[in-house]
């Protein structure tokens, strides 16, 4: 595009896409508080119970000032991959970290920056709570995860 288009690619604007995005943002804004109110107690339950139930677990990040749907842990002596595979076999899904680093085989630079030891960072597990996550899902995870960790540490 020319100067009249601020050097953006010349084309017709995607009006339908723009209107659709505006509506999606409107819906998200309307539901933001109710989503937060549903997700925060579930996240807090994970942050409280996982370190109580499993030895050698570190909560990564601040326990209060964090996203309402995000709980991030490091498990001493375990690899993220083994945790993820074991959870997957139970029909439970988590991640090693952010989507942009989920396939990386080295410690997260973010975890390193907040002072997490490299060996602990290699056992990172991010649990994200979604719109349809229920108390029952969390309870199922809290039952399964200690057994998984115990079997992997043998």
Domain membership flag for residue 135: yes
Looking at residue 43, its pLDDT comes to 98
Domain membership flag for residue 57: yes
Residue of 64, 99, 100, 105 marked catalytic: 100
Domain enclosing residue 79, as ranges: 39-153
Whether 100 is catalytic? yes
Quote the percentage of the chain above a pLDDT of 90.
76
pLDDT tens for residues 12-69? 889 999 999 999 999 999 999 999 999 999 999 999 999 999 999 999 999 889 999 9
Domain membership flag for residue 28: no
Contact 39, 68 (CB under 8 A): yes
Domain membership flag for residue 103: yes
Q: What is the CATH number of the domain that holds 113?
A: 3.90.1150.10
Angle at 35 between CA 93 and CA 23, to 5 degrees: 105
The structural domain count of the chain equals: 1
pLDDT of 102 higher than 60: no
Q: What is the pTM of this model?
A: 0.81
Looking at residue 99, its pLDDT comes to 55
Looking at residue 104, its pLDDT comes to 59
HEC readout, 36-101: HHHHHHHHHHHHHHHHHHCCCEEECCCCCCCCCCEEEEEECCCCHHHHHHHHHHCCCCCECCCHHH
């Amino acid at each position: 595009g020319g100067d009249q288009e601020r050097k953006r690619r010349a084309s017709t604007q995607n009006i339908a896409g723009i209107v659709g995005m505006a509506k999606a943002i409107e819906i998200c804004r309307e539901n933001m508080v109710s989503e937060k109110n549903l997700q925060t107690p579930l996240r807090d339950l994970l942050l409280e119970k996982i370190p109580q139930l499993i030895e050698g677990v570190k909560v990564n990040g601040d326990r209060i000032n964090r996203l309402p749907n995000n709980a991030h842990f490091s498990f001493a002596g375990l690899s993220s991959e083994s945790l993820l595979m074991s959870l997957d076999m139970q029909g439970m899904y988590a991640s090693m970290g952010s989507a942009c680093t989920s396939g990386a085989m080295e410690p997260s630079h973010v975890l390193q920056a907040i002072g997490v030891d490299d060996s602990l960072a290699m056992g990172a597990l991010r649990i994200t709570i979604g719109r349809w996550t229920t108390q029952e899902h969390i309870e199922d995870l809290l039952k399964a995860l200690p057994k998984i960790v115990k079997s992997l540490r043998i």
